[in-house]
Structure 1
Amino acid sequence: MTETVPGVSGSTIAMVLGIYERLLNALSMLTTKDRKKALPFLFTFGIGMACGFLASIYLIRYFLDNFYLQTFFFFIGIIAGFLPYIWKETVKTTKSGLIKKHYFIMLTSLSFVIIIIIIQFFSGMDNLDPNNLSFFNYLYFIIAGLFASTALVLPGISGALILTIMGIFEIAVDAISAFHLPIILTIGLGVFSGILITSRVVKYLLTNYISETYSAMIGLVSGSIFAILSNLETGFYTEFNVSVLITFIGGATLVVFLNVYKNRKV
């Protein structure tokens, strides 16, 4: 369910439940000769994930239709609440001998924030007509799905967050709600292809370049706030009220609760 909420990491929930290492290893085995050993676990895990995904998508569609601004500020609250924790983890993973490690993290993170801002200006996904899509639109969906697949194995990032950054979160939610197969299949193709490729890549990066990877994650998470705000309906600030502020605080509080619970489990 958490993969459908921008800012809530499915990998974090997997850590809380104690199955993160097993999931990462199972996904990595899909491209090896030992893939059959991973299939029973991934099959049962996949059934639960599919059921939770569909239930959550329809719930999110309801809230977007009836509480548009409150829903997105709940997402922003989650993201804002998560940033201090991911900064702390990044500093912890940075080698103590690295000169001015805080500046290194900030520079890397800022680079990824800039990348996200550029994506928002050039993605061209605003006011897209689902019934009149070009070849390049479908190609972009595949690429977005491929990047979103990294969320399954990368702590702190959700698939919905990646789709938000790429500017197609609402498009994906609408497509699933309306059962629009062309969009569902193209994004799904990207996710499936990405799982086969990125699980091993991410595992390699977390093993050999953990500080750099976490720094990039800070940039992605920070930049996603800009991505959400830039995709909100024009003039949203005129509708800002107490309920929006409450959902923002609620999102941040949820992250604090998850992190406290995770630390207790550890």
Structure 2
Amino acid sequence: MFGILFRGMAVGITETVPGVSGSTVAMILGIYERLLYSLSSLSTKHRKEVLPFLFTFGTGMVIGFWFSFRLIGYLLDAYRTPTLMFFAGIIVGFLPYLYKETLSYSKGSLQIKHYVIIFLFLSLVIIGQLLGDMNSIDLNNLSLGDYVFFTISGFFASTALVLPGISGALILTILGIYEIATASLISFHLPIVIAIGTGIVIGVLFTSKLIRYLLANYTIETYAAMIGLVSGSIYAIYYNLDGLYDTSTLIVSMITFLGGIIFLIVLKQSQTYKFD
């Protein structure tokens, strides 16, 4: 029970950081498939079977989410580049494991079409980052269309819970409403919170089934897409780094980057894949 709560906290913490996917962390922690199954079962007769797990995991996510707002928010404000480089190290350390798992489904080698998929999804994240500043919303004069946009944004952000490589914070950043969403949550601006939350709930119920179907029927292609998205998230982190660096920042960032890689390796080696 505590293990599930801890995993939920870890996922909740990363969901507030643009460029770091909560579902990637769920994969690293060995709980991704169970989470995907549980979410996709909410609209079936098996919902009672998965509710205890989802309640425990969800409680951990909420705790981690709020903790992250305080700690990660402070670290990003005070030590933005070293903090983001730590997460970049985690992702770089995770990629070989993801690639190895992909190869295990493809009998040892990938086809050209799989590399094309990797490139396309990597490009998707990069293009999304480059277009991320195009949208602007006047909070003092919100229209019905703005609330519809918040709901749609929440729908797309929900994919972060089921698709490794994309974070909810990153999607909201790409859509230009990340700061609006976080400020609204902290200040309890319920109309915006409800609009985004509604989109997230609808999205989770839909995308969890879609991803399960893709993993079951197009396993290698889906994993190739994950590699592209996870790789693209490295660029997303780089895109969000501070533009000014001094020697001390570079040294500390290098240390935190290596720390992220080491953290990931230790975590994978200690992973038991058992759900307590």
Normalization by structure 2: what TM-score? 0.77
Aligned twin of 1:31: 43
Alpha-carbon shift at residue 64 of structure 1 (Å): 1.4
| Residue 110 (str. 1) matches residue 119 (str. 2) | yes
Q: Distance in 1 between matches of 2:250 and 2:231?
A: 23
Structure 2 unmatched runs, 5+:
1-8
**Percent identity over the alignment?**
49
In the alignment, structure 1 residue 190 sits paired with structure 2 residue 202: no
Q: Which of 50, 54, 67 is the matching residue for 1:55?
A: 67
Q: 1:35 to 1:149 in 2, by over 3 A?
A: same
Indicate how the Cα distance of structure 1 residues 231 and 86 shifts in structure 2: closer, same or farther if over 3 A, else same: same
Q: In structure 1, what is the Cα distance between the partners aligned to 2:258 and 2:28?
A: 24
Change (3 A) 1:256 1:143: farther
The more displaced of 125-134 and 211-220 is: 125-134
Look up the match of 2:5.
none
Say if 1:140 and 1:214 are closer, same or farther in 2 by CA, change over 3 A: farther
**CA distance, structure 1, for counterparts of residue 66 and residue 92 of structure 2:** 26
Give the drift of 1:218: 1.0
Deviates more, 1:139-148 or 1:193-202: 139-148
Deviation for aligned residue 1:71 = 1.4
In structure 1, list runs of 5 or more residues that go unmatched.
none
How far does the alpha carbon of each residue in 1:97-132 deviate from its partner, in whole angstroms, 9 at most, with x for none? xxx625333221111111122212223368876556
When residues 42 and 54 of structure 1 are mapped into structure 2, their CA distance, relative to the original with a 3 A threshold, is same
TM-score by length of 1: 0.79
Counterparts of 1:1-266 in structure 2, within 5 Å, are: 1-3=9-11, 4-5=13-14, 6-7=19-20, 9-10=22-23, 12-13=25-26, 16=29, 20-95=32-107, 101=110, 103-124=112-133, 138-154=147-163, 158-160=167-169, 162-163=171-172, 169=178, 172-233=181-242, 235-237=243-245, 240-262=249-271, 264-265=272-273
SS in 2 for 1:207: helix
Answer yes or no: is the 8 Å Cα contact 2:131–2:174 preserved in 1.
Answer: no
Whole-Å Cα distance in 1 between the matches of residues 82 and 225 of structure 2? 28
Give yes or no for contact 1:76–1:248 (8 Å, CA) kept in 2.
yes
Residue range with higher mean Cα deviation, 37-46 or 246-255: 37-46
Aligned residues: 260
Aligned-pair distance for 1:258? 1.8
